[in-house]
């Protein structure tokens, strides 16, 4: 092994050691839905599904239209499944991809600066920066790592284009990057800025490489269109403008001052803009540009261009994520490396590496499991998104009482979390306290939750249990669905109280006696528990008289 390669090997080894605890992390966040419960990540069928459908197409929560086209990510899940699906193996896969990106930073930094030690420190800083934790510890965010690794090696091939024809490798790497995540769709423009910074745009082979990158990305976009994948809604000019200051502040804080990184910041519940971070980040970038001049500007341009899709993502989803800046961080690190000249600046870079290692080691602990992740997130970001996510985690763990409390916190005005609205009343049935569903559901509706069947029907049923049958029936009529049949039982109970037996007959027209009896038990049980045993008795008589219009 050549002496100039050792700094890169050391950087990769250090990153691997610091991230080793990730093997003890469980499936978290969307991992269960995207990976464990995915119907098509097996064999040839899984490979074909990656080309013909969206990332979430075959998952339990998929809703039309598909908007994420990421074949490489889906193929990586096929590999995970073939190796024996487990959190440890999946996290190993993600870490190896991340290490490939770290090696790419070293190779590119050494090629651009000619300083192996500086390139090694830059690679270590890139690999250990705390914003990497989300993408490495959360398997569902592996696509960000894949896009970054492929894009960095595409840049390395391009910047060595003067010595040999490399456009086929740039073409392939660009295709992999774009097929991993949409953040690489602007890769040709980012590569152009990087080549400009090192005054390489006039080289014929570099131009060919840039053209190859454009063709590679374009072929992925064409595949997206052929697969019928839609473009994300909610990223129009008004949303982009509204999200710009928050997205910029979040990005600069994450890149320049990543002291505590935990998911949960959301545009729907904006936190105060971190003006200090915004100012410090802007000044830091200006300082880098001044010290590194054209080369730093080219690298920063690479980072800025690859960050633009993150702006679109925030405007669309509303959720800020460290994973969005895995690739832009490469531009910042390369710009920083271009300013390192003497021993003192190398020492400063080393201090940054050690500080990043400490923060990353601490932040990794947050991602051990969903309970740790969302309890920490709820403390750091007090908003309905984190409250609802923590509530769902508690519900799945069987702690229904605590879950009810957090669902209530997730459905506060003026912007309750829609997913929490579906559970805030129903959770009380799991607590064996169905009457509590009435107060919880009505409060959520008053706070702005929509009249979904998941919310309205348990609420109406809870109201009927407290004797408010008429009000419960009127509320149940507003539901857009009846997923558990509760609104139907409430309506029939109200009909029986008004002696509208034709309504009960119509509900089970041509039904068997057993079905009539089952319905009578449900309706009669609600009437009895709601304080009307007399009508309960009438309903049970009705169920035993299939030919009669009335039990009287």
The string of pLDDT tens digits covering residues 20-32 is 999 999 999 999 9
Flag whether pLDDT at 511 surpasses 50. yes
Q: Which CATH class is domain 371-543?
A: mainly alpha
The two structure tokens encoding residue 173: 């790497």
Distance CA 326, CA 328 (A): 6
Q: Which of 262, 317, 252, 314 is nearest to 285 (CA)?
A: 252
CA distance 135 to 100: 14
Kindly tell me if the per-residue pLDDT of 94 is higher than 90: yes
Task: Using the predicted structure, report yes or no on whether residue 288 has a pLDDT greater than 60.
Answer: yes
pLDDT(358) > 80: yes
pLDDT at 548: 46
Higher local confidence (pLDDT), 253 or 328:
328
pLDDT at 173: 97
Q: How far apart are CA 349 and CA 356, in angstroms?
A: 11
Tokens 């009895």 belong to 528
> Which of residues 232 and 43 earns the better pLDDT score?
43
Share of the chain above pLDDT 90, in %: 68
Confidence tier at 471 by pLDDT (50, 70, 90): very high
User: Residue 80: which residues within 8 A CB-CB, separation 6 or more?
Assistant: 35, 41, 89, 90, 93, 139
Judged by average pLDDT, the poorest of 32-41, 94-103, 384-393 is 32-41
Per-residue confidence at 275, pLDDT binned at 50, 70, 90? confident
Check residue 359 and give its pLDDT.
94
Alpha helices in 318-426 (DSSP H): 326-339, 343-364, 370-380, 384-396, 400-410, 418-421
Q: Stretch 291-315: mean pLDDT, rounded?
A: 90
Q: Domain residues of the chain, as ranges? A: 3-367, 371-543
Of 9-13, 296-300, 534-538, 547-551, the poorest mean pLDDT is in: 547-551
Q: What is the mean pLDDT of the chain?
A: 90
Distance between CA 149 and CA 183 in Å, rounded? 12
- Residues 210, 158: contact at Cβ < 8 Å? yes
pTM of the model: 0.90
Does pLDDT of 552 surpass 60? no
Place of tokens 């990043």: 356
pLDDT over 60 (residue 546):
no
Q: Residue 543: is its pLDDT beyond 90?
A: no
Indicate the Cα dihedral angle 423, 427, 433, 436, nearest 10°: -30
For 191, left (φ over 0), alpha (ψ -120 to 50), or beta?
alpha
**pLDDT digits 0-9 by tens, 116-165:** 999 999 999 999 999 999 999 999 999 999 999 999 999 999 998 666 67
Residue 119 confidence (pLDDT): 93
Predicted local confidence at residue 351, as pLDDT: 92
pLDDT band at residue 408 under the 50/70/90 scheme: very high
Q: What is the dihedral of CA 220, 221, 223, 226, to 10 degrees?
A: 180
Mean pLDDT value of segment 29-43 = 92
Distance of alpha carbon 515 from alpha carbon 519, whole angstroms: 6
Q: pLDDT value at position 64? A: 79
Residue 62, pLDDT score: 81
CA pair distance 227, 53, nearest whole angstrom: 6
Give residue 545's pLDDT band: very low, low, confident or very high (50, 70, 90). Answer: low
């Amino acid at each position: 092994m050549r002496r100039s390669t050792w700094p890169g090997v050391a950087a990769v080894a250090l990153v691997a050691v610091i991230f080793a605890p990730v093997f003890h992390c469980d499936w978290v966040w969307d991992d269960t839905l995207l990976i464990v419960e995915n119907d098509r990540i097996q064999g040839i069928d899984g490979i074909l599904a990656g080309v013909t459908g969206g990332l979430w197409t075959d998952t339990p929560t998929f809703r039309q239209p598909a908007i994420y086209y990421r074949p490489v990510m889906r193929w990586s899940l096929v590999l995970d499944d073939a190796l024996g699906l487990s959190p440890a193996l999946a996290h190993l896969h993600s870490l190896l991809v991340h290490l490939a990106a770290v090696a790419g930073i070293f190779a590119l930094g050494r090629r651009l600066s000619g300083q192996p030690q500086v390139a090694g420190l830059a690679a270590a800083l890139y690999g250990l920066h705390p914003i990497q934790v989300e993408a490495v510890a959360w398997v569902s965010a592996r696509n960000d790592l894949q896009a970054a690794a492929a894009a960095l090696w595409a840049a390395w091939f391009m910047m060595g284009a003067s010595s040999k024809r490399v456009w086929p490798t740039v073409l392939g790497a660009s295709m992999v990057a774009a097929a991993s995540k949409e953040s690489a769709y602007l890769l040709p423009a980012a590569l152009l800025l990087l080549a400009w910074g090192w005054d390489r745009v006039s080289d014929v082979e570099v131009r060919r490489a840039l053209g190859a990158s454009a063709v590679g990305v374009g072929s992925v976009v064409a595949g997206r269109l052929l697969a019928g994948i839609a473009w994300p809604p909610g990223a129009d000019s008004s949303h982009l403008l509204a999200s710009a200051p928050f997205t910029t502040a979040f990005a600069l804080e994450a890149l320049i001052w990543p002291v505590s990184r935990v998911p949960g910041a959301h545009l729907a519940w904006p936190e105060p803009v971190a003006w200090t971070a915004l100012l410090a980040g802007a000044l830091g970038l200006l300082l880098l540009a001044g010290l590194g001049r054209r080369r730093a500007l080219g690298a920063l341009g690479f980072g800025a261009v690859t960050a633009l899709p993150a702006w679109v993502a925030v405007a669309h989803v509303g959720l800020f994520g460290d994973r969005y800046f895995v690739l832009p961080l490469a531009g910042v690190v390369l710009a920083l490396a271009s300013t390192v000249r003497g021993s003192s600046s190398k020492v400063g870079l080393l201090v940054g590496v050690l500080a990043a290692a400490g923060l990353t080691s601490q932040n990794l602990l947050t991602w051990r499991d969903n309970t740790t992740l969302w309890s920490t997130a709820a403390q750091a970001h007090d908003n309905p998104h984190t409250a609802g996510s923590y509530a769902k985690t508690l519900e799945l763990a069987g702690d229904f009482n605590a879950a009810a409390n957090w669902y209530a916190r997730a459905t506060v005005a003026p912007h309750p979390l829609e997913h929490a609205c579906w559970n805030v009343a129903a959770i009380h049935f799991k607590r064996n306290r169905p009457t509590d569903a009435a107060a919880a559901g009505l409060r959520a509706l008053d706070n702005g939750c929509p009249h979904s069947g998941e919310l309205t029907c348990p609420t109406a049923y809870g109201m009927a249990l407290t004797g408010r049958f008429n009000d419960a029936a009127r509320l149940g009529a507003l539901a857009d669905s009846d997923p558990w049949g509760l609104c139907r039982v409430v309506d029939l109970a109200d009909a029986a109280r008004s002696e509208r037996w034709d309504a009960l007959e119509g509900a089970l027209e041509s039904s068997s006696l057993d079905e009539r009896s089952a319905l009578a038990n449900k309706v009669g049980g609600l009437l009895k528990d709601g304080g009307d045993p007399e009508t309960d008795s009438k309903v049970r008589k009705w169920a035993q008289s299939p030919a009669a219009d009335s039990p009287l």
